[in-house]
Structure 1
Amino acid sequence: MDDVNPLAGLPKQDYDRLAEDLEFAAWVVGNLVVRFFDPIPARLLEVLHLEELTVGPIASYLRPLPGEQYQHRGAVADVYGGNRVLGITPLADGLLTVYSDDKGPYADQRIPGMDWIAYTGDGLSGHQTLSSGNRAMAKYQERRKALRYWHKPHRGRWTFETWTVIVQRRRRWGCGQDGLQRREFVWILAPVPSPISDTWPREVIEALNQDDGQLHDDSIDVIPAEVALPPKSERISARQRYEQLTAAAHRTASGRTRSSKLVQMERYLRSPAAREAVILRSNGHCENPSCMGHPLDRTDSGAPLLEVDHVNGLARTGQDVPELMIALCPNCHALKTRGRERSALQRDLLVVARARHQDFLERQ
C-alpha cells in the first residue's frame, strides 16, 4: 500500500499536516475511533502503528474538552464548526451536540436530586415530530452513542459540560413558543465520563439495558384542560376528573418496584397526574386548615400559588398518590419542611390529605 498510495488517499497538504503536527493527528485519530468503533477492537491501534501517537485514553485527544467555555454560539462554531443556531446539531467532526440555555425557549432541566438531564426535543411550536434533530437523537439512542451536552446558565457562558448518553425517550405536554400547549419529546440524558462505553458508570449501563428504545408517553393520562374542551354535554365532573387522575397516579406508582436512578427519574417525570389531582382537590386554596400565610395568592398568570408536596416525604412513602400528598402555600410548605413543629404538622396534614381525598371521591 505504501508503494501504490504513499499518501493514504489524502491530498498532499493534509498528509503533510498530519505527519508534521502529531497533536492534530492524535485528535483526528481519536475522532475517527470514537465515531466508528465502540467498543474499540482489540489491537486496532497497535496494528495501525498508532499506539505511540495516542498514549492514554482516546477521549482525551478529542476537542473540545469538557469545561471549555465560549461567550456565544458563534464563537463555538468559529473554533469547532457546526450550526450556530440549532439546539441539536453536530460539530464539524460529525459528533452530535445538544445545547441548553437557561433562558429558554425550551424547558430543559436537571432532574431534582440527580445529575440526569431532561432535554426537550426539537421544534418550537406545535406538536413535536420525530424529524430533524429528534430523528438524529433517536439514531443516537438506538446506537447507544454518546453526544456532547453544552449548557449556558443565566448570564453565563456556553460550557461543554459533559458527554451524555440517551437512556430514555419520553413525551409530555409542554408550552410552545406560541404560548399554546403541545406534545413534546423529552430525551433523558445521563452524563458519562467519555464517549467510550467502557468508561460508563454501572447505573447508566443498567438503564440502557432496561431501555426498550420505545417512546414512553406521559401525555396520555394528564391532558391540559385548555387543549380541547369537549362539548358541555360530554364534560365530566370534578369528581370524575379526580378519579381519572388518581387512577393514573396509582398505575404509575404500582410499576415502581426497584430503587434506581431510572425509577427516580420516572417518578419525577410521571407524577403530573398526582400533582394535578391535588391541585384540583384544593380548589386553589392552601389545604392546611391552620394556614396563617397567603392561601389565595396567585401567580402573574392567575394560577394558584401552591406547592404540591408529599406529606411525609417521598423518600419515606415512595408513592406519588393524591391521598399522601397535599397542596400548600409557600409559607405552610416551609413550616411543614423546616419548621420547629414540623413533625406534629406532618401528622395533622396526613389526616387532612386522606380525609379530603375521600371526601372528593364521595362527591355527588
Structure 2
Amino acid sequence: MSSLLVQFFDPIPARLLEVLGLEELMVGPIASYLRPLTGEPYQHRGAIADVYGGNRVLGITPLADGLLTVYSDDKGPYADQRIPGMDWIAYTGDGLSGHQTLSSGNRAMAEHQERRKALRYWHKPHRGHWTFETWAVIVQRRRRWGRGQDGVQRREFVWILAPVPSPISDTWPQEVIEALNQDDGQLHDDSIDVIPADVAPPAKSDRTSARQRYERLTAAARRTATGRTHSSKLVQVERYLRSPAAREAVIIRSGDRCENPSCMGHPLERTDAGAPLLEVDHVNGLARTGQDIPELMIALCPNCHALKTRGRERSALQRDLLIVARTRHQALLKKL
C-alpha cells in the first residue's frame, strides 16, 4: 500500500489515509513502511529479485512494486562515481556499447527527471555486497564521450543523482529543491564541441586544422566557464565533470609532449594505446581559479605534474608554468 501511495501521490493529501480507512494501519511517515530499508545488504542481484522482484540483470529497472531502481557496481562496466566533495552521484546511462539513446532505461530516467520522482539507488563496492544506499532524484542530465564495453568511444548519458531521505518531496533538503528548480530538464551535451582524437583524428600534416580546432575548443571552454556565475551544487557537479573542451584544447596545444620547458622526465612517452602520457591540470588549482580555460591549464608528464603539485620548488615552477601556458595559448591563437 505504501508503494502505491508513493507512486501516485506526492505530496500525499492530508485526509487521504482517513478516507481510505488506513489511519490506524499506517501510523507515522509513509516512507517508513517502504521496503527495502536503507542499508539493507544482499550478496547478489538474484537475492534482491527473490525478495523484491524486478529484473536480475538490467541496471535500470523497477522492482515488483513498480518503483524504479538503479544499480551501480564498482567493478563496472560503467564509470559511476560519487562526485568528490559531495554525496551526489554521476550515474552512467543504459547501453553497454555504441552511442546511448533515449530508450529503455534511459527513457525511464528521463520520465523520472521530468516528473521529479525519486528512485532507489543500489551500490556494490568492489568485493562487497549489494546495498540499498539511498533514495535519489535526478537533478541534471548530461552527455559525454566514454568507452563502451567493446572499448570503442561512444556518446553516453550521465544522470546526476541527488540523495534524498525518502521519495516524499516534503522531506527533501533545500539544496536539492534548489537544484531541481535550476534544472531546465534539457540535455547538457558536453560531447558536441569535443570529438576524441580516435573518433575524428585531425590530419597530421595540416597544422592549420589543429589551430582552428584549438580556437573552437577554447571558445567552448569559455562558454562553459561563463555559465558558472554562482555557487551551487550544480557548479560543483560541472567542476567534477570538468570542461572536456578545455582539456582537449590543452592536449592539442601541447603537441603531445610535456609543456614544462625544463622537463627532465619522458616528455614524449606514450601509453600502450599510443596516446600521449600527459596529465592536464590547472597551474594554480581549480579551487583558486574556478575556471576550466586553456590559458590557465597545462599538459605535463607524470613526473613534472608531481613536481608542480608536491615538489619543494613548486611555487616557482607554478609561476613559470603559468607564463608558459599563457604564452603558448596566445601564440597559437595569433597563428589563426
Q: Using structure 1 for the length normalisation, give the TM-score.
A: 0.86
Q: Which amino acid aligns with 1:80?
A: Y
Question: Match of 1:26?
Answer: none
Q: 2:292, 2:85 → 1: CA distance?
A: 16
By how many angstroms is 1:233 displaced?
10
Question: Match of 1:20?
Answer: none
CA contact (8 A) 1:252 1:270 kept: no
Question: Match of 1:198?
Answer: 170
- Which residue of 55, 74, 89 maps to 2:61? 89
Q: Which has the larger radius of gyration?
A: 1
Question: Match of 1:183?
Answer: 155
Question: Match of 1:151?
Answer: 123
Question: Match of 1:268?
Answer: 240
By how many angstroms is 1:270 displaced?
5.1
CA contact (8 A) 1:146 1:166 kept: yes
1:237 counterpart SS class: helix
- Which residue of 71, 77, 95 maps to 1:105? 77
1:141 counterpart SS class: helix
Q: How does 1:344-355 map to 2 (within 5 A)?
A: 344-355=316-327
1:288 counterpart SS class: coil
Deviations 1:48-91 (A, max 9, x none): 34333333322121111111111111111111110000010001
- Which residue of 73, 80, 89 maps to 1:117? 89
CA contact (8 A) 1:119 1:186 kept: yes
By how many angstroms is 1:230 displaced?
7.8
Return closer, same or farther for 1:212/1:257 CA change in 2, 3 Å cut-off: same
CA contact (8 A) 2:203 2:209 kept: no
Deviations 1:274-315 (A, max 9, x none): 011111112222222233444333333222222211111112
Return closer, same or farther for 1:235/1:65 CA change in 2, 3 Å cut-off: farther
Question: Match of 2:41?
Answer: 69
* 1:295 has 2:270 as partner: no
% same residue = 88
By how many angstroms is 1:235 displaced?
9.1
Q: Which amino acid aligns with 1:154?
A: H
2:166 counterpart SS class: coil
- Which residue of 199, 207, 211 maps to 2:183? 211
Question: Match of 1:313?
Answer: 285
Q: Which amino acid aligns with 1:243?
A: E
Return closer, same or farther for 1:235/1:33 CA change in 2, 3 Å cut-off: farther
Q: 2:11, 2:309 → 1: CA distance?
A: 47
Q: How many residues of Structure 1 are paired with residues of Structure 2 in the alignment?
A: 336
Q: Which amino acid aligns with 1:90?
A: P
Q: Using structure 2 for the length normalisation, give the TM-score.
A: 0.93
* 1:166 has 2:138 as partner: yes
Which shifted more, 217-226 or 354-363?
A: 354-363
Q: Mind listing any 5+ residue stretches in structure 2 that lack a counterpart?
A: none
CA contact (8 A) 1:218 1:270 kept: no
